[in-house]
Structure 1
Amino acid sequence: MQGYLAIVLHAHLPFVRHPEHEKFLEETWLFEATTECYLPLLQLLENWRQENLPVRLTLSLSPTLVSMWQDSLLQTRYSRHLEGLIELAEKELQRTWWDRELHELARFYHQRFLGLRELYQGVQRDLVRAFAQYQETGQLEIITCAATHAVLPLLQHPPSVRAQVLIARDHHQRVFGRSARGFWLPECAYGEGVDAALLEGDFRWFIVDTHGLLGAQPAPRYGVFAPIYTPDGIAVFGRDPDASRQVWSKEEGYPGDPVYRDFYRDIGFDLDLDYVRPYLPSPDQRGFTGIKYYSITGAGSDKRRYDRALAVRRAGEHAAHFLQARLEQVRRLEGLTQHPPVLVAPYDAELFGHWWYEGPEFLDALVRQLAQQRTLSMITPWDYLSRYTTHQVATPMPSSWGEAGYWQVWVNETNAWILPHLRVAQERMSQLVRRHGRSRGLTRRALQQAARELLLAQASDWPFILRTGTSPGYARQRIRDHLLRFHALYDQLTHARVDELWLTQLEQRDNLFPHVDPGYWA
């Protein structure tokens, strides 16, 4: 082999669970992603396993996503969601009977939903165990992420950075029965103070955006085509800009091709409200159902019907184009690097299936085409480090993969108010641990719940949503709720008057990380 391709898929969603409501709009984030991305990815892995294809992928599963997948309430609600999709597709088969094109698309959706239900029931609703089995077969390496996906450099509180990292480590070990070697930095955000926590957690590698590696000191001799080691001995990989641009770019990226399915044109907006109401995320307002009949082409009434066969063929063509570009990169680099170059291609997992509906077909075609040549091989970052152990020592530049490459997505006029509140809560958490760290019983429970509320308030998702304006009211309310609960627990612990009934209600609502260790904030 002349070079290696390391595809890293980052799977994350914020912890959204509302047992106090029968149906909750934002819980559908999990349901849509599971239907369009994660179950199809499991189908691909099983097909590749049965055909003995040489697959080696890295999958980052955030602790919040894993916690939701394992939650019995959300499992039941997702099963109900799938049944609703099947029922709606059956109604669409009848409604579109006299329109051949639409009827074929309705049949496609109906069959697809039936297959996903069969798969979900077949894995006994346990997606975590389902993905873990492909780690055992060697197709996947599963790594972890910060506990609630906090932008670590912005916490500016070493105990909180430590807690985000070590709680994620403990959670991964309990769930998967093994340690994660790699760590996905949320938003690829690297800065001062991150290394110490990763070193204590015994993590061996992480990824930064392109400029985070190219701006390292001293300058990396081989650019992003080889990892570096930090002075602490943790390996750092840089994102390959060409592989990223071909998939992510609004102008050049494959998902914008006109033949692909339009994400926004959904029957939840097109059809009579009473007809679709039972299947909407919120019955009082229009929303996505997951059944979409149009391609990206044009606008409004000018859009063409979605041609599924054509879109799948185009995904194969794009996979061939992507592979050819990577082969040309490797050939240009021949003899210029100490070891065969590694092209690191990290993506949000939800791009493949949710945002880009044909993304799974792209991955499938790419894997099959890779198997037909002998220049480029799939690899994980840890495999590459195990094979080639000697690399340059340098310190990466503070950076992220967000807009403008730094912190402005999470610190701007829409969300900068969050950070001062977090800093007060973080200092208070350390105070609580110093006072009550050895406590047991009710005090210990209250301390653990305070830790959960602080972790949930630190999630990067809330400032991101405030910045994009997609669900700002919900994001603002989540931050306020978690901080108010934290401060109430702080007051109760300080005055030795813990309200056990209220604490139990909190434990039942925000129930992730049952074994959380508050001592990490000491």
Structure 2
Amino acid sequence: MEKGYWMLVLHAHLPFVRHPEYKDTFEERWLYEAIFETYIPLLQIFERLERDKVYFRLTMSLTPPLINMLNDTLLRNRFQKHLENLIELTEKEIKRTEKEPEFHSTAQMYNRKLRKYHKIYLEVYKCDLVRAFNNFQEKGNIEIITCGATHGFFPLIGIHRECVRAQIEVAVNNHKDAIHRAPAGIWLPECGYNPGDDEILKAYGINFFFVDSHGVFFSNPMPRYGTYTPVYCPSGVAVFARDIESSRQVWSSKGGYPGDFDYREFYRDAGYDLDMDYIKPYIHESGIRVNTGIKYHRVTGHEVELADKKPYSYDKALAKTRSHAEHFVRTRYEQIEYCNNLLHIRPLIVSPYDAELYGHWWYEGPYFLEHVFRIIDAEKRILPVTPVEYLGRYPLHQIVVPSASSWGHKGYNEYWLNPKNDWIYRHLHRGAEKMIELANIYKNHEGDELKIRALNQCARELLLAQSSDWAFIMRSGTTVEYATKRTKEHLSRLNTLYEEIKSENIKAKQLELLEKKDNIFPQIDYRVYCSG
């Protein structure tokens, strides 16, 4: 009989990136890479576990931007072409590396896997990955939860409560349309919790959410069992807190499993290594070098320069996932035994991660998860659970007021509010004021279809501007120019539409272009921003 419980939570999210005005964009590749490195490999693992009758449970957020992109016809077609382009590259790589045995088998591996994924995507999943994940929810293996509509960071946009309500209501409605059921839980964007937000969650039927460890540790009153059981907010919404130890074992790039010297090195890629004339058809059309996903080297060592990385062995790396999975399960059992003796409970260990860590950043990560579930099923000392299942077994828990918190650097919003990105918030707040004003003025408006369309597009533009991804990118220093451009563009469009609506001078052709470009949430109703 199990002595404790393990809750795996995967947060699958990407910002909404869709550029029909360009043939080739750097940022759309984020989605393509996530599909063939994370989402399809995860689905393949679920299928193997189901085939072998291995008991597995996990919770997975599919955020509204990700759902909309995965269901978009333009992006589906572009992903298919992107995959076919990579398959062509790997075929050339097989020939190029014929006399380089240390690289040849890796080239063959990529070709084999990409061909398989291409066939599966088209013939098995029919290009519909949302439905593929939902099939496993229908079977009871996974619990799909939602997130903020565009991953807006609630603690910083919450100065206007209408904005938090809109993020939640639009997300819930989108989830119902795509998943065909109401979401039982939510992943708060960036785990950002502001006391009182749970009341809004409750109003929309959300029964649970997740916070970082200190969000519960510093609750009032202090939690009797730490993070080893959920707690309830005064509203009755349950809170599950991240377990520090199990997170560190996977998250840490140096001390965690992904930093093992035999695993694939993420930062060295054929897109930068190979001769320009050879690689040009497979990078950005401008000739700017980008990652292709074809990588031939292993981590080798933490202080080793990229140029000195050693060749990667796929088979050797996969063997490591088994030993690391054994270690992970063993340490979870030791953790549970300790809690059994100290707290006299069957503890719950909550392990949340970005889904894209598994496969994209840590190439072998999906196989690690497969081994973890197989080992747990064979030993039957730990039971994997979803939040709904756990609360069904144990409905009574302590009532506390969780602390304001987030995950990320220092744990209190700092990554999303600092000198590199703080300039955006006065503009976001002013945009919110304009949107709320319009919603209140026209809350009973009927008949003028053009005005209703313009109001709905205003709502889309504000939601897109509020994405926490833009502030995150500005702070991290990666594609800062793009994040800045997206923030300014959405706010500019909102401001232009605001003036056109107020002056009764809506430009129909320009509105149509915006609707085609920023086409997220086709069923949105601007009245979600009404006050009261």
TM bracket (short chain): over 0.9
Is residue 153–residue 193 contact of structure 1 (8 Å, CA) maintained in 2? no
RMSD of aligned Cα (Å): 1.0
> Match for residue 131 of structure 2?
129
> Match for residue 446 of structure 1?
454
Aligned equivalents of 1:519, 1:331: Cα separation in 2? 52
> Match for residue 177 of structure 2?
174
Aligned in 2, Cα 1:411/1:282: closer, same or farther, shift over 3 Å? farther
**Residue 395 of structure 1, aligned match among 391, 394, 401:** 401
Partner of 1:513: helix, strand, or coil? Answer: coil
Q: Does 1:313 align with 2:319?
A: yes
> 1:308-347 maps to which residues of 2 (within 5 A)?
308-334=314-340, 336-337=342-343, 339-347=345-353
> For residue 69 of structure 1, what is the amino acid of its counterpart?
L
Aligned equivalents of 1:219, 1:335: Cα separation in 2? 21
> For residue 173 of structure 2, what is the amino acid of its counterpart?
D
Q: Does 1:363 align with 2:364?
A: no
Q: Shift in Å at residue 101 of structure 1? A: 2.3
Aligned equivalents of 2:234, 2:515: Cα separation in 1? 41
Of 276-285 and 403-412, deviating more is: 276-285
Q: Shift in Å at residue 338 of structure 1? A: 6.7
Partner of 1:225: helix, strand, or coil? Answer: coil
Q: Shift in Å at residue 168 of structure 1? A: 0.3
Aligned equivalents of 1:151, 1:339: Cα separation in 2? 35
> Match for residue 359 of structure 2?
353
Aligned equivalents of 2:346, 2:67: Cα separation in 1? 35
**Residue 243 of structure 1, aligned match among 229, 243, 246:** 246
**Residue 469 of structure 1, aligned match among 477, 493, 505:** 477
Q: Does 1:421 align with 2:427?
A: yes
Q: Shift in Å at residue 222 of structure 1? A: 0.3
**Residue 209 of structure 2, aligned match among 206, 211, 216:** 206
> For residue 123 of structure 1, what is the amino acid of its counterpart?
Y
> For residue 312 of structure 2, what is the amino acid of its counterpart?
Y
> 1:77-96 maps to which residues of 2 (within 5 A)?
77-96=78-97
> For residue 140 of structure 1, what is the amino acid of its counterpart?
I
Q: Shift in Å at residue 372 of structure 1? A: 1.1
> Match for residue 44 of structure 1?
45
> Match for residue 217 of structure 1?
220
Is residue 25–residue 282 contact of structure 1 (8 Å, CA) maintained in 2? no
> Match for residue 521 of structure 2?
513
Is residue 281–residue 288 contact of structure 1 (8 Å, CA) maintained in 2? no
> Match for residue 283 of structure 2?
280
Partner of 2:18: helix, strand, or coil? Answer: coil
Is residue 436–residue 443 contact of structure 1 (8 Å, CA) maintained in 2? no
> Match for residue 416 of structure 2?
410
Partner of 1:400: helix, strand, or coil? Answer: coil
> Match for residue 196 of structure 1?
199
Residues 410-429 of structure 1 deviation map (CA, whole Å, 9 limit, x = unaligned): 11111000110011111111
Partner of 2:140: helix, strand, or coil? Answer: coil
Aligned equivalents of 1:300, 1:505: Cα separation in 2? 44
Partner of 2:353: helix, strand, or coil? Answer: strand
Partner of 2:6: helix, strand, or coil? Answer: strand
Is residue 13–residue 65 contact of structure 1 (8 Å, CA) maintained in 2? yes
Is residue 6–residue 382 contact of structure 2 (8 Å, CA) maintained in 1? yes
Structure 1 residues not aligned, in runs of 5+:
none
Aligned in 2, Cα 1:484/1:58: closer, same or farther, shift over 3 Å? same
Aligned equivalents of 1:124, 1:211: Cα separation in 2? 43
> Match for residue 146 of structure 2?
144
* TM-score normalised to structure 1 length: 0.99
* TM-score normalised to structure 2 length: 0.97
**Residue 506 of structure 2, aligned match among 492, 495, 498:** 498
Residues 272-322 of structure 1 deviation map (CA, whole Å, 9 limit, x = unaligned): 011111111454211111110000113244321101111111111111111
**Residue 165 of structure 2, aligned match among 162, 168, 171:** 162
Q: Does 1:55 align with 2:33?
A: no
Residues 362-405 of structure 1 deviation map (CA, whole Å, 9 limit, x = unaligned): 10111111111121110011210111010000010000111000
Aligned equivalents of 1:339, 1:72: Cα separation in 2? 50
> For residue 5 of structure 1, what is the amino acid of its counterpart?
W
Is residue 195–residue 402 contact of structure 2 (8 Å, CA) maintained in 1? no
Aligned in 2, Cα 1:451/1:120: closer, same or farther, shift over 3 Å? same
Identity %: 46
Aligned equivalents of 1:225, 1:175: Cα separation in 2? 33
Aligned equivalents of 2:23, 2:361: Cα separation in 1? 27
**Residue 458 of structure 1, aligned match among 458, 461, 466:** 466
> For residue 43 of structure 2, what is the amino acid of its counterpart?
L
Aligned equivalents of 2:200, 2:171: Cα separation in 1? 11
Partner of 1:409: helix, strand, or coil? Answer: helix
Of 380-389 and 480-489, deviating more is: 380-389
Q: Shift in Å at residue 35 of structure 1? A: 1.0
Is residue 295–residue 303 contact of structure 1 (8 Å, CA) maintained in 2? yes
Residues 129-170 of structure 1 deviation map (CA, whole Å, 9 limit, x = unaligned): 111111111111100000000110111110000000111001
Aligned equivalents of 1:154, 1:193: Cα separation in 2? 14
Q: Shift in Å at residue 67 of structure 1? A: 0.2
Q: Shift in Å at residue 226 of structure 1? A: 0.4
> For residue 334 of structure 2, what is the amino acid of its counterpart?
E
Aligned equivalents of 2:144, 2:307: Cα separation in 1? 44
Structure 2 residues not aligned, in runs of 5+:
none
Of 218-227 and 273-282, deviating more is: 273-282
Aligned in 2, Cα 1:444/1:334: closer, same or farther, shift over 3 Å? same
> Match for residue 489 of structure 2?
481
Q: Shift in Å at residue 336 of structure 1? A: 4.5
Aligned equivalents of 1:508, 1:338: Cα separation in 2? 58
Aligned equivalents of 2:219, 2:62: Cα separation in 1? 27
> Match for residue 265 of structure 1?
268
Aligned equivalents of 2:135, 2:41: Cα separation in 1? 16
Q: Shift in Å at residue 335 of structure 1? A: 5.2
Of 331-340 and 352-361, deviating more is: 331-340
> For residue 448 of structure 1, what is the amino acid of its counterpart?
N
Q: Shift in Å at residue 339 of structure 1? A: 4.7
